[in-house]
Chain A
Amino acid sequence: MGRISRDDVRYVAKLAELDIEDEEIEKITSQLDKILDYVAEVSRVDTEGITPLPHILDIKNVLREDVPGESITPEAALKNAPDESDSGFKVPKID
């Protein structure tokens, strides 16, 4: 235990753009700590000389010809937009 600190949790939440209330930090830290402590057992496995497989099946060189396909209309693109402005996806002030 003690694998992850509250500051780590705050840092990770910042990277993941998740708002975490101060009262939640304690609980989340302890839950994550338990999980990470469990999964950290992988470090005991000897992986000397193991090259991670890029893929389960030997699939490679999947390439598409440079031929135009269908695009959607701006209306369809913006259909789900929470906010729009002049055919663009509107976002609040960038900070």
Chain B
Amino acid sequence: MGKESKYESVIGLETHIELNTETKMFCGCRLSFGDEKNTHTCQVCLGHPGSLPVTNRKAVEYAAKIALALNCRINKYTIFHRKNYFYPDMPKNYQISQYDIPLGVEGHLDINMGGYVRRVGITRVHMEEDTGKLLHTGSTGRISESEASAVDFNRAGTPLIEVVTEPDMRSPEEAREYMINLRNLILFLGVSDCSMEEGSMRCDANVSVKEKAAKKIGTKTEIKNLNSFRFLQRGLEYEVKRQVDVLESGGRVRQQTRHYDNRSGTTKTLRSKEEAHDYRYFPEPDLVPIYVEDKMIEEVKKTIPELPSEKAKRFESEYGLTGEDCVFLANNMDMADYFEESCRHYDNPKNIANWIMGDFSALMNKNKVESIRKSKVSPKNLCKMLEIVDEGKISSKMAKSVFEEMFETGRDPGDIIESRGLKQISDEGLLGSVIDEVISENPEPVEQFRGGKEKALSFLVGKVMAKTKGKANPQLAVKIIKEKIG
């Protein structure tokens, strides 16, 4: 621990996000996920001789949406470049991308780290096209162990957005939180599925370490293949430790590209600085410039929903929730919507929030329900149940069990209570006769209570609850017991 605390890490992330448009970036082929190989291709996305790209308007709008949501300045004049390198998943052996005049620049994303807020600068948001997929033959499916590979170009040409940050993150946890926040934001915008598992969101990191007091940033390495929140954090932790070890043993960190191997949890050299690519970027002559008009920016802005940070602030003032609760709810669009819809049916936001964040979330996690919208409990039914509790018709303990059934079946809470005969006994006469029985059967505790032992009262209430199979209204029971023996 000691030697690592001398250092801090300096991390910047490059995230690729596949947009969920109908068609590809530069041709009319549909996007595909898990379809048969090479079923979504044409002369353009196969890079056939003579074919030409034409830019997808929606992809540009989506990119602008992301850039604006990340507080970027939109370049009024933006162009595409060609990035040249040979690889079999690249149909043209160049990628149409953006270079020195990307769509969005100079943005930021604020990350709430619990105790503090980290502002992560967004260097650029740019548009490009995705590559095809390589399928490696052989049992392991690993490139180094295959004798040959096959290329599937279904993915080639899928609109891709690259979000590049400044080296503003100071720990692997911050990097992880940034990714979680970025993903939430994009999901909010509805422009990508952001599935790291399926590769529609992918992440590379630039990382270096420096002594805390030092101003100068150390030599960085680029880590590829950090494709889950866990791998991101673990890969960065490994790499930071590796760099610290190198420095501590008197060595120098070499500038290189490294690959994260999730099996071993380590990073391995992919190529050195000397072998770095010479991409020969130049302006794409097959496409014309895009002049982003103010009108378009305004139109796009209108389509941006309230973002998590704004939402959290509003929840705090509008519903009087605590800051933490607000962030929790606001970071999940479905949950936030669900919460707000519930608030229209029931006037105790705090109570709703507690239920959503407590039992409801726990059940969702346990049953692997991804979104609150996919659960069977409607906001209306949740509120109905809360009202029933408030009216004292069921106890909050009963409510938990009723909610479990609502979660499983989606039934109306009233019906559940009815059919299970769960209604609380709130009838004074009925409860009074049960209490009479309890008093006569338990003379000792009755005496103890009279002698001032408060604990005895709980015992008696417990007996009442047992006799009524939990249906007695406990508050009412206490009141009657006190009246009868007080």
Contact = CB atoms under 8 A, between A and B. Distances in A.
A and B touch in the complex (CB under 8 A): yes
A86 B88 contact: no
Interface stretch (B49-57, B200-208, B367-375, B477-485): B49-57
B258 to A, nearest CB: 19
B150 interface: yes
Contact of A60 (B42, B43, B60, B288): B288
B46 A77 contact: yes
10 closest residue pairs by CB, A with B: A69-B28, A88-B150, A66-B58, A63-B57, A87-B37, A89-B151, A74-B38, A64-B54, A85-B150, A91-B88
A40 interface: no
A87 B148 contact: no
B57 A64 contact: yes
Given A54-B79, A88-B38, A89-B88, A66 B59 contact: yes
A77 B30 CA distance: 15
Nearest to B88: A91
Nearest to A92: B148
A74 to B, nearest CB: 4
A45 interface: no
Given A59-B288, A88-B152, A93 B37 contact: no
A50 interface: no
A15 B58 CA distance: 35
Contacts of B289: 54-55, 60-61
B22 interface: yes
Given A68-B22, A68-B28, A78-B38, A90 B55 contact: no
A54 B78 CA distance: 10
Nearest to A73: B39
A84 interface: yes
A22 interface: no
Contacts of A64: 28, 54-57
Contacts, number: 119
Nearest to B135: A88
B221 interface: no
B27 interface: yes
Contacts of B469: none
Interface residues of A, number: 33
A interface secondary structure, majority: loop
A39 to B, nearest CB: 16
Contacts of B41: 71-72, 74, 77
Contacts of A15: 84, 278, 280
B42 A72 contact: yes
A69 B27 contact: yes
Nearest to A78: B38
A86 B56 CA distance: 31
A88 B89 CA distance: 11
A24 interface: no
Nearest to B91: A89
A53 to B, nearest CB: 10
30 contacts: A54-B289, A59-B288, A60-B289, A60-B290, A63-B55, A63-B57, A64-B55, A64-B57, A65-B58, A69-B29, A71-B29, A71-B30, A71-B40, A71-B42, A74-B41, A77-B38, A78-B38, A84-B150, A86-B37, A87-B38, A89-B38, A89-B150, A89-B151, A89-B153, A91-B88, A91-B148, A91-B151, A92-B148, A93-B148, A94-B149
B348 interface: no
B131 interface: no
B82 to A, nearest CB: 14
Contacts of B84: 15
A70 B42 contact: yes
Interface string A37-68: 00000000000000000110001111111111
A66 to B, nearest CB: 4
A55 B42 CA distance: 27
A86 B288 CA distance: 38
